Structures are given as structure tokens and as C-alpha cells.
Structure 1
Amino acid sequence: MTFTLRARNMLTGTAAIAVAALALASCAAPPAAQTDFTGWDQVTAAAQGQTVSLWMYGGDEQANSYVDNTLAPAAAKEGVTLQRVPVADTKDALNRVLTEVQAGTREGGVDLVWVNGDNFGTGKQAGAWWCGWTPMLPNMKLTAPSDPLLANDFGTPVEGCEAPWSKAQFSFAYNSATVADPPKTLAGLLEWARTHPGRFTYPAPPDFTGSVFTRQVLYSVSGGHTNVPLGFDRASFDRLTPALFDTLTGLAPSLWREGKTYPKTSGELNALFAGGQVDFTMTYGPATLTKLVADGTYPAATRVLTLDEGTVGNASFLAIPSTSGHQAGAMVVANLALSPEQQAAKADPRIWGQFPVLDPAALSVAQRAMFDALPPSPVVPAYDVLSKNANPELSAAWVPELDDAWRRQILTGR
């Protein structure tokens, strides 16, 4: 799944973010402030009447509907007005926050961000996120402190700078009416693509889904994720990536439109799949497939492909910028989003279908019953099936390096 935000300014793109972050670091930007609240009652009192702007990817209709029709009304009952700010890329939100940090703003226009990965890591380095607040959230006790997906975000320690919101598992979906004998490994999937020209493609990095696809291929051609160091170093990159780009270069002529063009976004790939132009799509939010099949957007025969070696898994978070003027209200929303009621509603495929971050062992019998009552999906396996043999995410530093190399070696052919 991709996490994005709008409010354009003069800085756009990965390179601009890196420049801004380096500039802030070189100016010895102070670390994000620790919370001054002494108790949750003080937080809820300060939050009354505040309006919280949640910057998030605007291209997921189910996500938008969940926030507008489920989370926002619940926040209103807590005395907080939640406003969703749709954006096209999370980098837009980070750029906005970095600009506000540079200007010394303390009443910024971004209060909460749906974020993970390199955007979180870059922002943390530059002092963009407020830190030390998540231990105060009452509902954090319902998560497992030992859960590695929640402790680190693409290799960057979370350290109280963002609250978990959803878990995700990179997944492939296919039309079982046209793919009679689906492959069971990623190498098998690539071989299927070679023997069925034009029926497979992937989004062009730096699209979030296209980017994770390249990392998944890197694991495959390297003999498994254990052979790829999670932390980035140039020697490992130079040693491991030739096989990756040789594989993707060889695959290109068998792709949709012979690899002469690629979908720019995961949305474009999804549209190709929905229209029957390709037989596979891919997503970091497979639970959403249930509704897409039910409403006729996707073929009725759509199924999720489970791979023997597993796929990449991670979590997404809610972060509060250090420039937010409504930090108390943002904390209330983040705590509410972690509640069993909201996590169960968000997990309902009829509403959004995102995997919860709560620890079942920490829930009461009544709370577990809410999740047990969720309807099973005829399309998507249960999370414990999808996450079997889950592959860890590479550190955030790998992402722009792989994306840039893909652009140079695959897209432009150099």
C-alpha cells in the first residue's frame, strides 16, 4: 500500500526531500520536542475544540470513506474535528513539514500524517516528527512491544515518533479464470510472465508498489531475504543488484506493451487488471480486494497468490509533525485509531479491510469477539496465512538507491 499527501510547494520529489533534510541536519536542527503533557486527562482536556488535519493518500476510496464516515465521527465524540487532507504522495506532506521546520513554524498546517518507510526515516533525521508521545496513548498497551513490525519502520527505530495504524503484506492478485495453474514462487511468477507475453507488468518505481516489487525480486534473485543485508551499504548494493537488473531487463520484452512503458502508479496497474488487459496486479493492501470483487470492479475470479517463500510485510503509522499546533488533538485521534472498535471497523472488508496492529493476547474476550465476527473473504486468505514466511523490509536507505537505479537501467536503458 502507498501513503501520500498534497499541499505542493517549491520542493518536490525524493531529491528535494533529501536536500532539505540534509540542509536541516547541517544546521543542527533540534530533535523533535518531547511531550510536555503529564497525563492523558491533560491531553484530552487540551484537545477539546481542536481541528486536526490528517494528511493521507487520497487515491484509495475505501480509505477516504473510512476516515470520513467512521473515524471522523468517532473523533467528534471526543471533542476533536478531524479533517482529511488528500494528497498524491507522502513526500508532499513531508516537504510541507520540512519547509515549516526551516521556517521555525509552531502552528503548521499538518497535524497528522499517514506515513512509513523512507519518508518517516528522512523526516526523523531532519526533526520533522514530534517524538516521545506514543507511550502516553492508553491504547498502546494493546499492542505487542516485541512486535518487530511496530518497533522499526523500514529499519528506522520508531522510538515513540509514530503510532501504529495498520499492518500490510505485499501480495499478488490474479484472475483465476485466465490463470489456471498459478505459480507458487516469485521465480515461477516471472517465468509465467515470460511465457505469457503482455499479460503481466508492474508500476514504475518510485511508485510505492512498484518499488516493493523490485525489492521482492531482489530477494528472489539473491536466494532469499536472508542473503540481503537489511542495512544499506554500497558494497552489498554493487554485489547484489546486477542480478536484479539483469532479471528485470530480460523480463521487460515480455511485459505489457513489451516493457516500453510502465504503469505510472499502482492505480494504473489496478485499472489494467480490472479491464482484463493483464492477469495479475499487486498491492500492499490485499484485504481491500474483497470489496473490489464484490462491487464488480475486479473479476469475480480474482484470488490472492501466496508464495512459498513469503512476501514483504510492514506496518504503516500515524506521525505528528513537530510543527503541529494541535498535538493534543492529534494524540486523541491516534489513540482512537488504535482502539479495538476502530481497528475492527477498519479491518472489515466492507469498510476498508486493513489488517489490525493489536495484540490478540492483550484484548478482552469481548474485544476479540469483534474481530472474530468479521466476515471471511472468498478472495483473500487470513492474515496469518498471508504473513507466513513474511520477509522483512529493507532499511529506508535502500529505497531511493534502488528506485534511481531502476530509472537509469530499466526505464532509460542505461
Structure 2
Amino acid sequence: MRLSRRTLLAVPAVIGLPAWTQRAEWPGIEAAARGQTVYFNAWAGSERINAYLQWAAAELRTRHGVTLEHVKIADAAEVVRRVRAEKDAGKTSGGSVDAVWINGENFLAMKRDKLLFGPFAEQLPNHAFVDTQGKPTTTVDFSEPVEGLEAPWGMAQLTFYGDGRRVPQPPRSVQELADFVRRHPGRFTYPKPPNFHGTTFLKQVLLELSSDREPLYRPVPPANASAVTAPLWAWLDAVHPALWRQGRAFPANDGALRQMLADGELLIALTFNPNAAANHVAERQLPSTTVSWQHRAGTIGNTHFIAIPFNARSREGAQVAINFLLSPLAQARKADIRYWGDPTVLATHALPAGERKLFDAARAPGMVAEPAPALPEPHASWVEAIEREWTRRYGA
């Protein structure tokens, strides 16, 4: 059942919430947020994302009197280190970070070290529109329960793309991909771990090849991690000689892959945004014959989130900003490939008709034609284990 704003404001205080949250209803939080500046630490590697955040900042200033400052970062891990250093120094309030774009191992680290404020997410009025049933990763982050310590912001799923004229029958499994690579030596590769896209590709291969996935959804065991990951290394050993540069060098990131694809050096690239190729077609960086696909049995999908550090200076402003970013207006603009193309976390079918129409958009060249199931991310602790072993085997 969808809750109205009035219903949300009448929900009684939840046991375990900070005392100030129990005392203040949402209008009080909005009032306290007015005039606050929110330092939002978010990845700055995309002009589209940066422009979207500039739009959101203008809306927040007009609608709520909140100033959103985009603190441009390269990796959320640097934010984790900064907040941890502030805690170690005894700085329990007035921190330098009010909100951070985060997920995966960085969320796990902040949760374990008690560096997060909350729970707060379910108390946001617009959280009532989140599709927690159809998109279960909105409540579980890399197999770690979110428990209200971060609010879902967008969806992602590993997606492959290429020119449909050159790849008329795209490989739809890692077995088919291995055959494709052997038939087209030097025309496929993946970003070098610990780049996020590269590590995600490794996890995809491991998930598809694992007869028993259960261990991957638990913390890395101290004893038999090598047995769990053995299928991955066997696949890579067999495929690497046929990769670009015989698997002795790897591109730095997905942007490099895209450029190599555009230059004709590669036949297939990969991304974690199902609409990324459509964005690049619209920007005339890729031809209109570009096609996107996902492996038929599913590809890794997850949710990215926004969290508030435990010592944030502008807690109220951060919550108001995050609540706006969860609004149908902001989510629809973010999902539109003209602005970003990041899939929404909302249950659009449950929205009022007027807000549901915001998400109506015609299909565009480069979009995924047959979406596949989203495979949950392995537990976040596997990231370091896989990256460490990959570096030992292939990093040199």
C-alpha cells in the first residue's frame, strides 16, 4: 500500500532512532534545514552527472532554501578515510561531509566502523515510493542489509554493448563470450581491477560459472576462498591469451573501453548503466547501430545509495536534499537519457498518474532490447579478495 504524505507524518517514532528524530516530524526537519549548506561528496567523472547535480542544487535552493555543494571526488573510499580520521580525532560533530554517494565495500566499511548517521532512510517521505519489492537491492547493499543507514538513489546492471553491424549475434553468457573472444582475438578486454567495472566483470564471470553461489553471498571464509573462486581463474587463464594485448595490459576504465570501441579497436565494451550506450549514441560518440545486451541468465545488478556520516554538520539539510533526490520529479529527470539515463529506484507503476507520466519516454537507439534478470552482488568482502588475487596473478 502506498502511504500518503499525511500518513507518513503520522507514523510513530521508531525504536532505535536518534532522540532528535523521534521528536521532530518532517516539517520540523524541513524548517531546520532552511539556510543549511549540504556538502555532497559525489563522483565527478561525468559531465552529465555534474550537470544533473547543478540542476538539483538550483531546485533545492528554490524549493527548500538548502544549498547543495557538490564536492567532486574520484572514489568514495577517500571519503571513508576522511570521516574515519575525523572520528579518530574525536570530531563527533561539524564534520566535513554531509552526504556521500556510496555503496558496496565503502558502505560496509562505514557501517562496521559506526561512521554513519541513522537509521534515517525510511523516514523520508519520498522513500514510500521506493520499489523495495520489485528491486530488492534497494534494501541490501552487496548482500549487506542497509537497515536505513543509506537511501537508495539509482539502479545499475552490468551491460555489454557494441555495433550491431559488427556483432550481429552478441554473446549472451560467459561461455559464449569465451568462444567469441577466441574467434576474434584482440578485440575484447575489460578494465583493470580495482577499477569498479573491471571487478564487476570478474564477479559476473564467477557467478555464472559457480555451481553453488551460496558462499559468495556470505563473508569471505578464512579457509577455502580459493576453492570458491577457482572457476574464475580457470576461465581467465583460458581467455587471457586471446584478449586485447594478450591480456598483458588492460584499459584504465569503462571510458577507455568506449573510446576503443568507437575507434574500432574493440568489438564489445561494458558498462554498469543499461542506458549508457544510448547516451553515447545521443551524443554522437557511438553510431546509431549500437546495440546493448545482458547475459540471458542475468547480470550483476545493484543499487547505489546516499548516506549521511555520523558527524555531519547539516543533518537536516542532508535529509531534505536526499528526499528531493528521491522525488518523482528528480528521479524522472535522472532516468531520462537526455540528462543522465540512470534507472530509477521508484515503483513507477504505483505513482499518481501525473507523476507516472514523467517517466514516459520513447525507446532510443542503443537501449537494452531484452532486459535480463539482475543478479544480486556477492558480499562486499569478496571485492578485496578477488582484486588481491587478480593482482597477484595478472597485475604485473
The alignment's TM-score, normalised by the length of structure 1, stands at 0.87
Give secondary structure in 2 for the equivalent of 1:368.
Answer: helix
1:236 positional shift: 5.1
Is 2:47 the counterpart of 1:61?
Answer: yes
- Which position in structure 2 is the counterpart of 1:202? 190
1:153 positional shift: 0.4
Residue 101 of structure 2 aligns with an amino acid whose one-letter code is W
1:101 positional shift: 1.6
1:181-206 Cα distance to aligned partner (Å, 9 max, x none): 22222210122112211100001111
Report sequence identity in percent: 35
Q: Which runs of 5+ in 1 are unaligned?
A: 1-31
Distance across 1 between alignment mates of 2:126 and 2:302: 20
1:33 positional shift: 7.9
Question: Do the aligned partners of 1:115 and 1:317 also contact (CA within 8 Å) in 2?
Answer: yes
Is 2:383 the counterpart of 1:399?
Answer: yes
Give secondary structure in 2 for the equivalent of 1:315.
Answer: strand
Distance across 1 between alignment mates of 2:231 and 2:276: 33
The alignment's TM-score, normalised by the length of structure 2, stands at 0.90
Residue 107 of structure 1 aligns with an amino acid whose one-letter code is G
Question: Do the aligned partners of 1:216 and 1:311 also contact (CA within 8 Å) in 2?
Answer: yes
Is 2:212 the counterpart of 1:231?
Answer: no
Per mean C-alpha deviation after superposition, the further-off stretch among 40-49 and 300-309 is 300-309
1:163-191 Cα distance to aligned partner (Å, 9 max, x none): 11001111111121222322222210122
1:317 positional shift: 0.5
- Which position in structure 2 is the counterpart of 1:247? 235
- Which position in structure 2 is the counterpart of 1:4? none
Is 2:314 the counterpart of 1:326?
Answer: yes
- Which position in structure 1 is the counterpart of 2:126? 139
Per mean C-alpha deviation after superposition, the further-off stretch among 290-299 and 313-322 is 290-299
1:80 positional shift: 0.6
CA gap 1:258/1:35 in 2 versus in 1, 3 angstroms: farther
Give secondary structure in 1 for the equivalent of 2:374.
Answer: coil
**Please, which of 349, 367, 385 is the counterpart of residue 380 of structure 1?**
367
Question: Do the aligned partners of 2:143 and 2:376 also contact (CA within 8 Å) in 1?
Answer: no
Residue 36 of structure 1 aligns with an amino acid whose one-letter code is W
- Which position in structure 1 is the counterpart of 2:61? 76
Aligned residue runs from structure 1 range 14-413, under 5 A: 34=18, 36-37=20-21, 38-68=24-54, 70-77=55-62, 78-105=64-91, 106-146=93-133, 147-223=135-211, 226=213, 229-234=216-221, 235=223, 237-371=225-359, 373-381=360-368, 385-386=370-371, 388-412=372-396
1:314 positional shift: 0.6
Distance across 2 between alignment mates of 1:318 and 1:399: 20
CA gap 1:306/1:181 in 2 versus in 1, 3 angstroms: same
Residue 389 of structure 1 aligns with an amino acid whose one-letter code is P
CA gap 1:276/1:115 in 2 versus in 1, 3 angstroms: same
Per mean C-alpha deviation after superposition, the further-off stretch among 112-121 and 259-268 is 259-268
Give secondary structure in 2 for the equivalent of 1:252.
Answer: helix
Distance across 2 between alignment mates of 1:215 and 1:242: 12
Give secondary structure in 2 for the equivalent of 1:391.
Answer: strand
Give secondary structure in 2 for the equivalent of 1:245.
Answer: helix
1:29-83 Cα distance to aligned partner (Å, 9 max, x none): xxx9836132111111111111111111111221111111x21111112111111
Residue 368 of structure 2 aligns with an amino acid whose one-letter code is P
Aligned length: 375
Structure 1 runs (4+) deviating above 3 angstroms are 144-147, 225-229
1:226 positional shift: 4.2
Give secondary structure in 1 for the equivalent of 2:42.
Answer: strand
Distance across 1 between alignment mates of 2:96 and 2:80: 12
Distance across 2 between alignment mates of 1:263 and 1:228: 30
Residue 71 of structure 1 aligns with an amino acid whose one-letter code is A
Give secondary structure in 2 for the equivalent of 1:172.
Answer: strand
Question: Do the aligned partners of 2:121 and 2:151 also contact (CA within 8 Å) in 1?
Answer: yes
Distance across 2 between alignment mates of 1:229 and 1:279: 31
1:378 positional shift: 2.1
Per mean C-alpha deviation after superposition, the further-off stretch among 176-185 and 43-52 is 176-185
Residue 72 of structure 1 aligns with an amino acid whose one-letter code is A
- Which position in structure 2 is the counterpart of 1:8? none
